[in-house]
Homo-oligomer: A and B are copies of this chain.
């Protein structure tokens, strides 16, 4: 039987430890092709490159530490997936996995996440897709603790299929393997960022800002991804790209135009 073809991408760039870890895990399951940004693309949301050119470079691959094939791309995570599916892969992948992101993409962070945009782009194009994120921003984070869970989730997705129009947003708490209690299917917690702009003046006398902020959880539900992560579970949120707020249609139909 043909091994499943697994497309791996991310938003932290092709050299990021989170991606390198994911590649090694996916090689246990199937044939792996990497198409990932040549530089960090965190916070890129679902950006695509419209007014500029895209470069792609074939990297050394096929060794113990690398995928069967690897390509870096000058574009965003969503660009990488488009380029992979249309240009670089010989056949449609059986699944696309994005990550492992260095840092959480739970709750409202899904909106800003390049990791999840790559997965969503694959989903839009009809490829089952999962974004993985570890709740540890450090470059030297320990990605090994959740290895068995990640393999389990990908294998279940390959066996059961992912519901149509849905991609999975998987977040992993920063815990040792023994302390991870299991996997919970969740909804996206209501939350936002309380921004703070750190205003400074450049050596040339020009004012500029750094965007910083504090995460503000606005949701006490015990069925949310934030609750699961705070209580030692890996969270899996089914995430959709039909953004219609169906429940609001009736109310809007009462407006008098």
Using a CB–CB distance below 8 Å, which chain A residues touch chain B?
Answer: 40, 42-51, 53-56, 75-76, 78-79, 82-83, 85-87, 108, 110-112, 117, 120, 124-125, 149, 152-153, 156, 160, 163, 165-166, 168-169, 182-183, 185, 187-188, 190, 192, 195-197, 199, 206-211, 236-249, 251-257
CA distance A56 to B207 in the complex (A): 8
In whole Å, how far is A213's beta carbon from the nearest beta carbon of chain B?
8
A-B contact pairs, 21 of them (CB 8 A): A43-B49, A43-B51, A44-B47, A45-B117, A46-B46, A46-B112, A53-B209, A54-B211, A55-B206, A55-B209, A56-B209, A83-B197, A156-B256, A163-B245, A163-B248, A168-B252, A185-B249, A185-B252, A187-B242, A188-B242, A238-B245
Residues of B within 8 A of A112 (CB): 46-48, 78
Q: How many copies does the complex hold?
A: 2
The residue of chain B having its C-beta at the shortest distance from the C-beta of A50 within the complex is: B43
List chain B residues, Cβ under 8 A from A47.
Answer: 43-45, 47, 76, 112
Contact, CB under 8 Å: B242 / A238: no
Give A194 Cβ to nearest chain B Cβ, in Å: 9
User: Distance (Å) between the CB of A131 and the closest chain B CB?
Assistant: 12
Q: Which 7 A-B pairs have the closest CB atoms?
A: A45-B46, A238-B248, A45-B45, A240-B245, A238-B245, A43-B50, A187-B244
A243 touches B245 (CB 8 A): no
A151 shortest CB reach to chain B, Å: 11
A42–B50 CB distance below 8 A: yes
The answer to whether B124 touches A108, judged by C-beta atoms less than 8 angstroms apart, is yes
Instruction: With CB as the reference atom, state the residue of chain B lying closest to A160.
Output: B255
Q: Are B86 and A195 in contact (CB under 8 A)?
A: yes
- Find out whether the CB atom of B257 lies under 8 angstroms from the CB atom of A152: yes
Cβ 8 A contact of A196, one of B51, B86, B237: B86
Question: A238 CA to B182 CA in the complex, in Å?
Answer: 36
12 additional contacts (CB under 8 A) given A45-B47, A82-B195, A187-B244:
A43-B49, A43-B50, A44-B45, A54-B208, A79-B211, A87-B197, A160-B254, A163-B247, A163-B251, A165-B190, A238-B249, A243-B243
A187 CB contacts on chain B under 8 angstroms? 242, 244, 246, 249
Question: A108 touching B241 by the CB < 8 A rule?
Answer: yes
